[in-house]
Structure 1
Amino acid sequence: MDNTEFQIQKRRGIIVWVYSLKQLKTLKRYGLIHYVSRKMKYVVLYVNEEEVALTLEKLQHLHFVRQVEQSYRPDIAMNFAERIGTKAAYQVKDEDELDVANTKIRLAETV
């Protein structure tokens, strides 16, 4: 048996705006197609992080590609505890308290 460990490959999303969706099979060569918007005519590809620059350059030279953008989600820090404060993040208000405080009883005759 082979005792190799599973390594998670770092990937990045690439948004490819196209003129026509007829060339979807061609885009499969460049990465994994994650989503296709038929209405807005764009395709979301996932590519290995090492190949992003080379793939962006190749995609921009295709005749059916309007624009190519890369996803900036991996560059964004997703730790928001410092910005909102840890106490504020974990405070939970009971829904019963909110409902009682905002409820006004009105009679049908006065409405």
Structure 2
Amino acid sequence: MSINKELKSAGLTERTGLVIYLKNASDQYKLRRFGDIVYFSKKMKYCIVYVTQENAKQELAEIRKLDFVKYAEFSEKDQVDLSSSHIETQIATMAQEAEQEIQRRQEKNEDLLK
């Protein structure tokens, strides 16, 4: 379930994340006027800024025009499927693949011992 769905049912403002790559690490502070900086990587020179969802496209276009910004995009965090049925399907698939790999290795080891 998306956090935005939970916020909507609680009556809170929906927000979305923007990933912004900077030319200089020190320029992150200039992004405070757009939203909340929730993560910043000094080494990789990028930050994640949360903005209100209804103004996100406008904010992104404005941020992309800034001279200290290399690149900006929407975070894909909201598109991750966290439903229990999807996760269970992934786990079952991974378990089946692991069992097949174990059987393959056992057969290979048996062939080597002959």
Return the letter of the residue paired with 1:12. T
Q: What does the per-residue CA deviation read over 1:67-99, in whole Å, with 9 as the maximum and x for residues that have no partner?
A: 1011122233321415635xx6xxxxxxxxxxx
Q: 2:24 aligns with which of 4, 14, 20?
A: 20
Return the letter of the residue paired with 1:11. R
What does residue 97 of structure 1 align with?
A: none
Q: Say whether the 8 Å CA contact 2:17–2:48 is kept in structure 1.
A: yes
Q: Does 1:50 align with 2:54?
A: yes
- How far off its partner does 1:8 sit? 1.6
Q: 2:15 aligns with which of 8, 11, 15?
A: 11
RMSD of the TM alignment (CA)? 1.8
1:88-107 pair list within 5 angstroms: none
| Identity in percent | 27
Structure 1's unaligned 5+ residue stretches are: 1-5, 89-111
- How far off its partner does 1:23 sit? 1.9
Q: 1:62 aligns with which of 60, 63, 66?
A: 66
Query: Distance between the aligned counterparts of 1:82 and 1:60, measured in 2?
Result: 35
Give the secondary structure class of the aligned counterpart of 1:52. helix
Query: Distance between the aligned counterparts of 1:35 and 1:72, measured in 2?
Result: 15
Query: Distance between the aligned counterparts of 2:71 and 2:83, measured in 1?
Result: 31
What does residue 37 of structure 2 align with?
A: 33
Query: Distance between the aligned counterparts of 1:9 and 1:60, measured in 2?
Result: 24
Aligned length: 81
Query: Distance between the aligned counterparts of 2:65 and 2:74, measured in 1?
Result: 16
Return the letter of the residue paired with 2:28. L
Query: Distance between the aligned counterparts of 2:87 and 2:37, measured in 1?
Result: 35
